[in-house]
Amino acid sequence: MTRQLDKRTSLAEVVGQLKSGMTIGIGGWGPRRKPMALVRAILRSDLKDLTIVGYGGPEMGMLCAAGKVKKLVYGFVSMDFIPLEPFFRRARERGEVAVSELDEGLLNLGLRAAGMRVPFLPTRVGLGTDLLTHNPELRLVRSPYADEETLLAMPAIPLDVALLHVDYADRLGNTQIHGPDPFFDEQMARAAERTFVTAEYVVDSLAEACGDSAKRNYFERSLVSGVVYAPGGAHPTSCAPHYGWDAKHLKDYVAAAGEDDGWQRYANQYLGRDEADYLQRVGGVGHVTQLPIPVL
């Protein structure tokens, strides 16, 4: 009998496969469904000089504050009710990291191009704007057809690794996202050489446990290299329909950005020695799962 592949792994084993200097895509959207358990594992590691790609939230600010980032590639860096991520803002204003500032559409096209294994995708997005001024690496191309239209060539954004957080996963690497915000995680998975996911629930077989929700599987299991069981793993961001973002915690995080040595205070207070320690410090998984879903 053929033995089926088992992709279940741990946070430590995933981070052990990462290397300094990598380009890492982080899924989710602002303060929604970020793979924060993996981000915290990176914060505890010796990794550095990372290029971080994504629709940014607190993960980008935390990684900047901890000195892990060489470059950020983003469509925005926000926490919704907190418009601009504070530690990102500080790093940006001080010129501590290189940046590629795109709009949401161009970032999407860059990931799509990488997933399609083409060098760029043509678009009208960005024409006539300062995106070209602030991203001198962007190029214009002329259509080879009769229209001869001038278009922007958005270069591919290939990722060494994508880190994603999902609602459900199984040992084979099948995943499901049940919240209202799957957005561009599938593009991250296709753009990456390897994809690791954390999940609120890990079952033996999604086909058996959640077979009637197959439409919520946004990318193939062949793209997934590892699955980590991490209940509450998106905290302090939300993971609807299971829990909302932790506004009180995020406000404390924002306050830390205004303090001398505020990042160190925040890290000492919350980060802990591992994920179990972190969850205990923030009130436990029970507290996380009771956080109300924000109504927008």
Q: Does the pLDDT of residue 3 top 90, yes or no? A: no
Rounded to an integer, what distance in angstroms lies between the CA atom of residue 51 and that of residue 73?
7
The DSSP bridge partners found for residue 168 are 176, 201
User: Across residues 140-146, what is the average pLDDT?
Assistant: 97
Q: Does the pLDDT of residue 255 top 70, yes or no? A: yes
pLDDT band at 39 (very low <50, low <70, confident <90, very high): very high
User: Across residues 251-277, what is the average pLDDT?
Assistant: 97
pLDDT of residue 181: 87
Exposure string (b/e) for 155-171, b if CB count within 10 Å is 16 or more?
Answer: bbbbbbbbbbbbbbbbb
pLDDT of residue 1: 44
Task: Read off the pLDDT of residues 52-69 as tens digits, 9 standing for 90 and up.
Answer: 999 999 999 999 999 999
- The pLDDT > 90 percentage for the chain reads 91
Residue pair 10/223 in contact (Cβ under 8 Å)? The answer is no
Give ranges for CATH 3.40.1080.10 in the chain: 8-103+157-206+214-278
| Residue 208 burial (C-beta neighbours within 10 Å; 0-12, 13-18, 19+) | exposed
Q: Does the pLDDT of residue 131 top 60, yes or no? A: yes
pLDDT of residue 114: 98
pLDDT band at 211 (very low <50, low <70, confident <90, very high): low
pTM of the predicted model as reported, rounded to 2 decimal places = 0.96
Q: Which of 215, 216, 218, 179 is nearest to 31 (CA)?
A: 179
pLDDT band at 214 (very low <50, low <70, confident <90, very high): confident
pLDDT of residue 183: 87
Rounded to an integer, what distance in angstroms lies between the CA atom of residue 263 and that of residue 254?
10
Average pLDDT score, the chain = 95
List all residues 6 or more positions away from 114 whose beta carbon is below 8 Å from its beta carbon: 156, 157, 158, 159, 190, 191
- The pLDDT > 70 percentage for the chain reads 98
- The full DSSP string for the chain is -PPPP--EE-HHHHHHT--TT-EEEE-SBTTBS--HHHHHHHHTS---SEEEEEEESHHHHHHHHTT-EEEEEEEEE-BTTBSS-HHHHHHHHTT-SEEEE--HHHHHHHHHHHHHT-SEEEESTTTTSTHHHH-TT-EEEE-SSTT--EEEEEEP--EEEEEEEEEEEETTS-EE--SS--TTHHHHHHHEEEEEEEEEEEES-HHHHSGGGGGG--S-GGGEEEEEE-TTTTTTSBBTTTB---HHHHHHHHHHHTSTTHHHHHIIIII-SSHHHHHHHTTHHHHHHTSPPP--
Q: Does the pLDDT of residue 11 top 90, yes or no? A: yes
> What's the token pair of residue 133?
């001024």
Q: Does the pLDDT of residue 133 top 70, yes or no? A: yes
Query: Positive or negative CA dihedral for 255, 257, 258, 260?
Result: positive
Q: Does the pLDDT of residue 24 top 70, yes or no? A: yes
Q: Does the pLDDT of residue 203 top 90, yes or no? A: yes
List all residues 6 or more positions away from 131 whose beta carbon is below 8 Å from its beta carbon: 101, 102, 103, 106, 138
CATH, domain range 8-103+157-206+214-278: 3.40.1080.10
The DSSP bridge partners found for residue 80 are none
